[in-house]
Amino acid sequence: QVQLQESGPGLVKPSRTLSLTCTVSRAFLTANDYYWGWIRQPPGKGLEWIGYIAYTGTTHYSPSLKSRTSISWDTSRSHFTLQLSSVTPEDTALYYCAAARRPFTDPGQYTYWGQGTQVTVSP
């Protein structure tokens, strides 16, 4: 079973860049048939897909966030990171990393999830 764990700062100041890391369980580090995604849930709202990265490094982002989003692997491919630039209080949310066997943009199609990490954007 795929295990994922998010990490990163819980508080980010407006206009700064939010950076989160997702650690993938060792058994799946070389799995080349998964898509590794980031999903968030703002307070009182539904799940919002942010983007994914494939094992090959190919990425795909939500059109509404594309100009501010970057997802990448670290050199060892044991972690993948989310960077969201120019954040505002509207980016406050519970952020999840997740995995799916297909390149889904629907959060409901992701099979494996981390426990989530709260990020608050505030001065």
Tens of pLDDT, residue by residue over 84-105, are 999 999 999 999 999 999 999 9
Amino acid at 97: C
What is d(CA 15, CA 3) in angstroms, rounded to the nearest whole number? 32
| Whether the predicted pLDDT of 45 surpasses 80 | yes
Q: How confident is the model at residue 51 (pLDDT cuts 50, 70, 90)?
A: very high
CA distances from 108 to 16, 43, 94 (A): 29, 18, 16
Q: How confident is the model at residue 29 (pLDDT cuts 50, 70, 90)?
A: low
